[in-house]
C-alpha cells in the first residue's frame, strides 16, 4: 500500500468522523430541546431531517471509501454494494430536498406581512411535516433504479461493460439509456437547486430593503440584528455552501459519464467533494446560532404549555 493511499484514507476517515460528530452533536441538541420542553420552530424540524440525511450520506460514502483507500479489497457483497450506493443516493437527495425546503420556508417567513406571500406565510408551517415525509418517499422511489446499475467487482466475469467505482462497479448501459437515467436522476436535484437560488435571491433582496429602512430609524432601534435576520444569514450561508459543493459534484458526475474508466484520482476527489457539505453544514449552523444554543438552556419561557 502506497503512502498516497494511506493519505487519502486518512482524509476520508477524518472527514467522516468530523462530519458524524458534528451532525450527532446537533441532533443531540435538538432532541434535548424537544424532550426538555423547548418550543421548536418549523426550521428546526427540517434541520433534524437534514442531519439524519447527512449522517446517512457520510456513513454510506465515507466508511467504504476509507476501507478501500486503506487497501481492503472485496469487503462488500453484491447486495452490500447495491445498498451502500442506494442509501448514499437517498441521503444525498433528501439533503438536497431539505436544504431547498429550508431556504424556501425562510424566504416565506421573512417576507413582509403585506406582500402576496402573507397568506402562505401563515399556512406554510402546517405543511412542514407532510413535506418532509413526502421528500423521503420521493427520494426512495426516484433513486430505486440505481440498485440495478451497481454490482460487485469480483462477481462479474464480463468486465468490458463495467465502470470501476473503486470498491464496486457500475454497469454501463447504452448511450440513450444512460442519458435517460441521468436525466431522471438529476432533474429533481436541478429543480431544487433552482428553487434554492430563487429563495436565496429573495432573502438577499428582503434583507437589503430592510437594511435600507433601518438606516433612517437607526437612532431609535437597537443595532443588534433580529433572530430572523441571523437565521436568514445562516441559511444563506448554508445554501451558498451547498450550491458550490453540488456544482463541483455535478462536474465530477459529468466526468464519470464521459470517461469509460475514470481513474482513481477522479473517483477519490469526487467522493471527498460529495462529503464536504454533510461535514461542514452542522458547523455552519452552530456558528450562526451559538447564542440560541446557550439561551435555550437558560430561559424557560419557551417551554411548551403543560
pLDDT value, residue 138: 92
| Whole-number pLDDT of residue 219 | 47
pTM: predicted TM-score of the whole model, two decimal places: 0.82
pLDDT of residue 248: 84
Q: Give the per-residue pLDDT at 222.
A: 47
Return the C-alpha cell found at 115: 406582500
Reference 132, options 46, 192, 41; nearest CA is: 46
Q: Are 47 and 99 in contact (CB under 8 A)?
A: no
Report how far Cα 153 is from the mean position of its chain's Cα atoms.
Answer: 29
Mean pLDDT in consecutive groups of 10 residues from the start of the chain, 306 residues: 79 92 88 77 86 92 87 83 91 91 85 69 83 93 86 63 76 71 78 87 80 61 57 80 83 66 74 88 76 46 45
Ordered by where they begin, the domains of the chain are 3-215+228-298 (1.20.1070.10)
Torsion of CA 193, 83, 47, 278, to 10 degrees: -70
Note the pLDDT of residue 259: 61
Residue 137: its pLDDT value, please? Answer: 94
CA distances from 226 to 57, 80, 223, 232 (A): 33, 48, 9, 10
The string of DSSP codes covering 17-48 is HHHHHHHHHHHHHHHHHHHTTBPPPHHHHHHH
Residue position matching grid coordinates 452533536: 25
Q: Count CB neighbours of 290 within 10 A.
A: 11
Cβ atoms of 264 and 82 within 8 Å: the answer is no
Amino acid at each position: 500500500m502506497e503512502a498516497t493511499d494511506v493519505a487519502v484514507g486518512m482524509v476520508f476517515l477524518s472527514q467522516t468522523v468530523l462530519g458524524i460528530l458534528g451532525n450527532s452533536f446537533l441532533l443531540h441538541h435538538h432532541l434535548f430541546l424537544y424532550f426538555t420542553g423547548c418550543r421548536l420552530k418549523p426550521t428546526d424540524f427540517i434541520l433534524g431531517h437534514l442531519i439524519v440525511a447527512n449522517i446517512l450520506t457520510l456513513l454510506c460514502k465515507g466508511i467504504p471509501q476509507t476501507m478501500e483507500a486503506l487497501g481492503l479489497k472485496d469487503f462488500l457483497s453484491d447486495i452490500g454494494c447495491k445498498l451502500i450506493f442506494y442509501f448514499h443516493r437517498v441521503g444525498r437527495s433528501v439533503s438536497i430536498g431539505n436544504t431547498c425546503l429550508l431556504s424556501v420556508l425562510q424566504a416565506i417567513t421573512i417576507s413582509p406581512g403585506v406582500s402576496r406571500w402573507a397568506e402562505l406565510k401563515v399556512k406554510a408551517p402546517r405543511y412542514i411535516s407532510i413535506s418532509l415525509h413526502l421528500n423521503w418517499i420521493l427520494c426512495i422511489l426516484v433513486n430505486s433504479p440505481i440498485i440495478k446499475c451497481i454490482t460487485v467487482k469480483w462477481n462479474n466475469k464480463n468486465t468490458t461493460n463495467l465502470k470501476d467505482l473503486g470498491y464496486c462497479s457500475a454497469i454501463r448501459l447504452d448511450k440513450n439509456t444512460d442519458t435517460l437515467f441521468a436525466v431522471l436522476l438529476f432533474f429533481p436535484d436541478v429543480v431544487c437547486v433552482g428553487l434554492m437560488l430563487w429563495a436565496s435571491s429573495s432573502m438577499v433582496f428582503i434583507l437589503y430593503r430592510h437594511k435600507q429602512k433601518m438606516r433612517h430609524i437607526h437612532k431609535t432601534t437597537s443595532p443588534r440584528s433580529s433572530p430572523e435576520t441571523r437565521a436568514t444569514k445562516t441559511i444563506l450561508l448554508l445554501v451558498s455552501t451547498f450550491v458550490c459543493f453540488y456544482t463541483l459534484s455535478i462536474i465530477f458526475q459529468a466526468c464519470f459519464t464521459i470517461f469509460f474508466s475514470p481513474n482513481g484520482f477522479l473517483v477519490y476527489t469526487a467522493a471527498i467533494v460529495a462529503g464536504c457539505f454533510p461535514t461542514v453544514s452542522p458547523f455552519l449552523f452552530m456558528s450562526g446560532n451559538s447564542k440560541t444554543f446557550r439561551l435555550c438552556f437558560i430561559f424557560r419561557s419557551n417551554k411548551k404549555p403543560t
